[in-house]
């Protein structure tokens, strides 16, 4: 015996024989979704959200999109507004495909109120409206008039109140107002009545009905309060990636003989659960009838969906009355005032994009709005901005104060048998006695501390305990033997040679300190010998080292580490602060939903990017000039080059950091991941770009990696300008500029591509 069909399925059969919609009829709808398939996650373990969903929203309708939390309403809406792509299926919005050239979607034809507040807390209500007004090409007068109406209608407080100081419900209403502001053709409202009291909720619904009266506006609204959608012309009950029904609330209530829409939803859910078993057997029959070739590349689910779709475009699994019925009848469900809707040519057919329009990187009113908004945000966060501007200056000050200066106050353990370990002031005469004292005096002049010990044993002990950096021992006849060594020259005896030597044992555990101590000891000896020669009136050449270091060709006679590290440190500070600034700003904008909202308003990712470039470039230029001024003027870092080129290279490096920041914000989805990525790149760049150690000393592999990194060539270029005074025409200088420009284009292109192609 044939089992009894569940309610709904029996009613579902007849429409299977109705006609197919054509592309033309699809484009006549406000929204038409066909065979939508959307999944998240890996193909091996997909999370299917939309599973062959069909949806038809005629023009001039209020369409209530209902469904349990997590059933995919927001996902469907973001596909409709062109912010996410379907994995399969098609969407027509206001006659065009979302995102296609000339469709106006995303764009001002749509008003979108996302689920999250997606507003700048620091802005006042008026400023918020001004921003969205500017984005949608409204004049200030039009915005002001609309603000007045919206404040009254939505019972909002004064327009000068900052959004962050409003209650949650008020913030949602401001968000709603921002979507209504420019009278869009299609209004998409994701839960607009959350946190709104019943009276105002009713007011909002009345206003929505009013908006659709003349047929010019279509509204799609999602809500958890199912029964408030009684005022909608049509509702779509979504469950399991499909619509259970897509009909007018009255006919649903009648058809299922229920008191409330909630009951209808429950009834249909039960039917769907029962029907799934039944449906699987129906599908089995269909597949048997129309065999899908085994070699077909189309997955079975899609094949089945397409089979179903080719025979019908059922929107609801049950209770469907939308797609299969003729268009004229369907229109009667919504406002009858949609005059000539069928006669209107879809905008895409009308709109001819010129080549100029297609190549246009930005629209001036969008850029105006973005730049105004970014500057206003900076102004509202002036303390943060001052910190950001001051941070690189603080860092360069810290660097110059603490890195690269010669260590002083180092303790040396002295055993002076010549003076029985007594201190002895230099005599300043030509007496060749107690010469050890004159030598030690030179060490004191170099600001090192001398501690005297009785014997070598105790001096070593002091070094071993970390009380001194080295031990020095003078023989009892040091002066006599030194004099004899000079007098006898080649014929000097072994004891003369041995006794005229200062014995030194250093703590070499700290390479920098021991290197500088060695240098100080050698210089101290040279100075002592020279002083003696001058005092005793004989040529200093006699005591000079036979290797003579003349005045250097480039750099100071005694180079310091500050001069070596400064170019790299300046560029690193500017580069990484720009990374942090840009990626931070972009991520805040994205994570708070503001970016999403702006993009739905028609602003492009490239415009957002350019908006940040313009504003942050200003900050960065200021930062760069301050850093250079502090390094060169206040801390007197050696500079022989042209300040213009030095500043330009610093600014370009900051720009490069900004572009890297864009890439970071595009590839990461949270501030934490952005921080990991920025920090992860910081250390390799600092280690490999020749900032703390010359590239010449690196391993062959790291040397070749270092060659292509963003800061290597620019650091070398900066060093050549600062220390050698080389002009831009020198290869090692202009290569730094070229490398930075190449990296800017690489990062910028990557972020533009990521913005363009990285959609959900």
Ligand X SMILES: Nc1ncnc2c1ncn2[C@@H]1O[C@H](COP(=O)(O)OP(=O)(O)OP(=O)(O)O)[C@@H](O)[C@H]1O
Cβ-based nearer residue to ligand X, 89 or 104: 89
Span 610-669, contacts to ligand X by CB under 6 A: none
One residue of 58, 60, 64, 72 binding ligand X per CB under 6 A: 72
One residue of 12, 26, 39, 73 binding ligand X per CB under 6 A: 73
Residues 434, 474: Cα–Cα separation, whole Å? 10
500 binds ligand X (CB under 6 A): no
C-beta neighbour count of 119 within 10 angstroms = 24
Min separation Cβ 91 and ligand X, Å: 15
C-beta neighbour count of 300 within 10 angstroms = 11
40 binds ligand X (CB under 6 A): yes
Q: Which stretch binds ligand X (CB under 6 A): 67-75, 290-298, 391-399, 442-450?
A: 67-75
**Residue 719 zone, left/alpha/beta (φ > 0; ψ -120 to 50; rest):** alpha
Min separation Cβ 312 and ligand X, Å: 26
Min separation Cβ 191 and ligand X, Å: 7
Span 138-197, contacts to ligand X by CB under 6 A: none
Residues 308, 302: Cα–Cα separation, whole Å? 10
C-beta neighbour count of 450 within 10 angstroms = 16
Cβ-based nearer residue to ligand X, 46 or 157: 46
Q: Cβ neighbours of residue 82 under 8 Å, at least 6 residues apart?
A: 93, 98, 99, 105, 106, 600
Min separation Cβ 193 and ligand X, Å: 13
Do residues 219 and 59 touch, judged by C-beta distance below 8 A? no
Q: Which stretch binds ligand X (CB under 6 A): 69-77, 172-180, 624-632, 672-680?
A: 69-77
Q: Which residues pair with 449 in a beta bridge?
A: 411
Residues 377, 373: Cα–Cα separation, whole Å? 6
One residue of 32, 71, 378, 594 binding ligand X per CB under 6 A: 71
Cβ-based nearer residue to ligand X, 255 or 590: 590
Could you tell me whether strands 411-416 and 449-452 are parallel, antiparallel, or unpaired per DSSP bridges? parallel
Residues 484, 500: Cα–Cα separation, whole Å? 9
Cβ-based nearer residue to ligand X, 83 or 330: 83
C-beta neighbour count of 428 within 10 angstroms = 10
Q: Which stretch binds ligand X (CB under 6 A): 70-78, 312-320, 329-337, 674-682?
A: 70-78
39 binds ligand X (CB under 6 A): no
Cβ-based nearer residue to ligand X, 70 or 409: 70
One residue of 28, 29, 56, 75 binding ligand X per CB under 6 A: 75
Could you tell me whether strands 242-247 and 234-239 are parallel, antiparallel, or unpaired per DSSP bridges? antiparallel
Cβ-based nearer residue to ligand X, 79 or 482: 79
Decide: residue 112, CB within 10 A, 0-12 exposed, 13-18 middle, 19+ buried: buried
Decide: residue 512, CB within 10 A, 0-12 exposed, 13-18 middle, 19+ buried: exposed
Q: Which stretch binds ligand X (CB under 6 A): 68-76, 124-132, 570-578, 708-716?
A: 68-76
Min separation Cβ 31 and ligand X, Å: 16
The three-class DSSP label of residue 105 is: coil
| Total of residues contacting ligand X (CB under 6 A) | 13
Task: Compute the 3-state secondary structure of the chain and give helix, strand, coil in percent, each to the nearest 5.
Answer: 55, 10, 35
For residue 317, give the nearest of 360, 280, 291, 263 by alpha carbon.
280
Residues 110, 186: Cα–Cα separation, whole Å? 5
Cβ-based nearer residue to ligand X, 71 or 652: 71
Q: Which stretch binds ligand X (CB under 6 A): 5-13, 73-81, 419-427, 490-498?
A: 73-81
Span 731-760, contacts to ligand X by CB under 6 A: 760
Residues 250, 97: Cα–Cα separation, whole Å? 31
Min separation Cβ 65 and ligand X, Å: 9
Do residues 53 and 65 touch, judged by C-beta distance below 8 A? no
70 binds ligand X (CB under 6 A): yes
297 binds ligand X (CB under 6 A): no
Placement of tokens 């005032």 in the chain: 337
One residue of 42, 43, 44, 69 binding ligand X per CB under 6 A: 69
Cβ-based nearer residue to ligand X, 76 or 138: 76
One residue of 87, 115, 433, 526 binding ligand X per CB under 6 A: 115
Do residues 94 and 185 touch, judged by C-beta distance below 8 A? yes
Min separation Cβ 77 and ligand X, Å: 8
Cβ-based nearer residue to ligand X, 47 or 541: 47
Q: Where are the beta strands (DSSP E) in 122-241?
A: 186-190, 218-222, 234-239
Residues 288, 181: Cα–Cα separation, whole Å? 54
Rounded to 5 degrees, φ, ψ at 56 are -130, 120
Min separation Cβ 642 and ligand X, Å: 51
Q: Which stretch binds ligand X (CB under 6 A): 23-31, 62-70, 246-254, 394-402?
A: 62-70
Min separation Cβ 682 and ligand X, Å: 29
One residue of 52, 64, 67, 192 binding ligand X per CB under 6 A: 67
Cβ-based nearer residue to ligand X, 69 or 295: 69
Residues 114, 322: Cα–Cα separation, whole Å? 26
79 binds ligand X (CB under 6 A): no
Min separation Cβ 115 and ligand X, Å: 6
Min separation Cβ 747 and ligand X, Å: 25
First vs last C-alpha separation in the chain: 48
Span 556-585, contacts to ligand X by CB under 6 A: none
Residues 269, 401: Cα–Cα separation, whole Å? 72
Q: Which stretch binds ligand X (CB under 6 A): 63-71, 382-390, 657-665, 697-705?
A: 63-71
74 binds ligand X (CB under 6 A): yes
Q: Which residues pair with 471 in a beta bridge?
A: 413, 505
Min separation Cβ 74 and ligand X, Å: 3
One residue of 49, 314, 440, 628 binding ligand X per CB under 6 A: 49
Q: Summarize as ranges the residues that interact with ligand X (CB under 6 A).
A: 40, 47, 49, 67, 69-75, 115, 760
């Amino acid at each position: 015996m044939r089992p009894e069909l569940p309610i709904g399925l029996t009613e579902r059969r007849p429409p299977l024989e109705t006609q197919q919609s054509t592309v033309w009829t699809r484009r006549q709808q406000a929204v038409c979704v066909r065979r939508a398939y959307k999944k998240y996650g890996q193909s091996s373990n997909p999370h299917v959200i939309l599973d062959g969903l069909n949806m038809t929203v005629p023009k001039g309708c209020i369409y209530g999109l209902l469904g349990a939390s997590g059933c995919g309403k927001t996902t469907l809406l973001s596909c409709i507004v062109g912010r996410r792509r379907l994995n399969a299926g098609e969407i027509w919005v206001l006659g065009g495909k979302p995102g296609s050239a000339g469709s106006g979607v995303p764009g001002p034809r749509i008003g979108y109120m996302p689920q999250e507040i997606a507003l700048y807390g620091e802005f006042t209500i008026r400023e918020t409206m001004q921003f969205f007004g500017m984005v949608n090409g409204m004049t200030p007068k039009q915005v002001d008039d609309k603000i007045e109406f919206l404040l009254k209608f939505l019972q909002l407080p004064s327009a000068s109140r900052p959004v962050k100081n409003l209650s949650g419900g008020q913030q949602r209403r401001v968000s709603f107002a921002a979507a209504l502001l420019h009278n869009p053709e299609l209004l998409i409202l994701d839960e607009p009545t959350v946190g709104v009291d019943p009276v105002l909720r009713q007011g909002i619904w009345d206003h929505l009905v009013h908006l659709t009266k003349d047929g010019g506006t279509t509204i799609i609204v999602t809500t958890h309060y199912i029964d408030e959608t009684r005022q909608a012309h049509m509702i779509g009950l979504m469950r399991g990636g499909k619509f259970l029904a897509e009909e007018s609330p009255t006919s649903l209530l009648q058809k299922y003989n229920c008191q409330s829409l909630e009951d209808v939803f429950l009834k249909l859910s039960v039917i769907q659960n029962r029907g799934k078993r039944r449906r699987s057997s129906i599908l089995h029959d269909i597949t048997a009838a129309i065999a899908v070739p085994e070699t077909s590349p189309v997955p079975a689910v899609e094949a089945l969906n397409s089979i179903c779709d080719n025979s019908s475009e059922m929107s609801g699994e049950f209770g469907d009355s939308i797609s299969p019925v003729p268009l004229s009848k369907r229109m009667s469900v919504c406002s009858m005032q949609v005059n000539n809707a069928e006669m209107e040519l879809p905008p895409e057919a009308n709109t001819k994009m010129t080549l100029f329009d297609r190549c246009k990187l930005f629209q001036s009113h969008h850029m105006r709005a973005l730049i105004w908004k970014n500057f206003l945000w900076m102004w509202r966060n002036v303390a943060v901005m001052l910190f950001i501007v001051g941070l690189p200056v603080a860092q360069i000050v810290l660097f110059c104060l603490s890195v690269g200066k010669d260590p002083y106050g180092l303790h040396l353990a002295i055993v002076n048998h010549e003076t029985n370990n007594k201190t002895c002031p230099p005599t300043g005469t030509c007496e060749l006695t107690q010469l050890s004292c004159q030598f030690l005096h030179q060490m004191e002049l170099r600001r090192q501390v001398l501690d005297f010990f009785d014997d070598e044993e105790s001096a070593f002990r002091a070094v071993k305990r970390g009380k001194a950096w080295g031990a020095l021992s003078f023989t009892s006849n040091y002066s006599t033997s030194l004099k004899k060594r000079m007098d006898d020259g080649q014929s000097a005896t072994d004891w003369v040679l041995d006794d005229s030597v200062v014995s030194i044992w250093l703590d070499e555990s700290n390479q920098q300190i021991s290197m500088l101590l060695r240098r100080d000891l050698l210089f101290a000896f040279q100075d002592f010998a020279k002083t003696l020669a001058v005092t005793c009136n004989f040529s200093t050449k006699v005591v000079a080292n036979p290797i003579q270091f003349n005045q250097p060709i480039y750099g100071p006679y005694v180079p310091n580490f500050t001069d070596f590290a400064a170019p790299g440190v300046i560029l690193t500070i500017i580069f990484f602060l720009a990374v942090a600034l840009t990626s931070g700003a972009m991520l805040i904008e994205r994570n708070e939903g503001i970016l999403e909202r702006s993009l739905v308003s028609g602003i492009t990712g490239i415009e957002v990017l350019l908006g940040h470039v313009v504003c942050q470039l200003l900050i960065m230029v200021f930062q760069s000039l301050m850093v250079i001024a502090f390094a060169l003027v206040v801390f007197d870092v050696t500079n022989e080059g042209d300040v213009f080129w030095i500043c330009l290279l610093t600014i370009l490096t900051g720009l490069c950091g900004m572009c890297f920041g864009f890439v970071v914000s595009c590839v990461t989805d949270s501030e934490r991941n952005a921080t990991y990525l920025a920090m992860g790149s910081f250390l390799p760049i600092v280690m490999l770009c020749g900032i703390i150690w010359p590239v010449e000393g690196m391993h062959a592999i790291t040397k070749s990696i270092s060659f292509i990194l963003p800061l290597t060539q620019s650091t070398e270029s900066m060093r050549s300008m600062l220390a050698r005074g080389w002009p831009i025409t020198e290869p090692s200088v202009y290569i730094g500029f070229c490398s930075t420009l190449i990296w800017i284009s690489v990062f910028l292109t990557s972020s533009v591509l990521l913005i363009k192609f990285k959609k959900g």
